[in-house]
Amino acid sequence: MFTRILLVSAATLALAACSSVDLNEPDNNTIPRICNADNASHVTGKRISAELEQEARRSSGAGMIRVIRPGQMITKEYRSERLNLQLNDYDVVVRAYCG
């Protein structure tokens, strides 16, 4: 019985030593950034470009950006850290919204 308890204790300690959980402060890259589309509303009416995408992402505080072209299939999941830029047929931003 003592041997069994000793083996179980040793196995538990060995597994605990292999744990990769870090209980320190979270890394800034793992904290989701919340999008604020009102801060990116200035991009509506402008032709899309890589620079405009980055400016919209930066000003909205979004962690990611998605450009949506007419007729493009998109997923419907809501992501609070994503800025969506909806374009018209002429690659002009007609709507900026989060989700």
Residues with Cβ < 8 Å from 64, sequence gap 6 or more?
A: 57, 79, 81, 82, 83
Cα-based angle 45, 61, 95 (whole degrees, multiple of 5) = 25
Q: Is the pLDDT of residue 12 over 80?
A: no
pTM: 0.68
Q: What are the residue ranges spanned by the domains of the chain? A: 29-98
Q: Which residues, in sequence order, are CB contacts of 40 under 8 Å at separation 6+? A: 56, 57, 59, 60, 62, 83, 96
Q: What is the pLDDT of residue 68?
A: 97
- Cα(98)–Cα(77) distance, integer angstroms: 11
pLDDT classification of 3: cutoffs 50, 70, 90: confident
pLDDT, one tens digit per residue, over 46-64 is 999 999 999 999 999 999 9
Q: Does the domain made of 29-98 have the CATH classification 3.30.10.10?
A: yes
d(CA 28, CA 26): 6
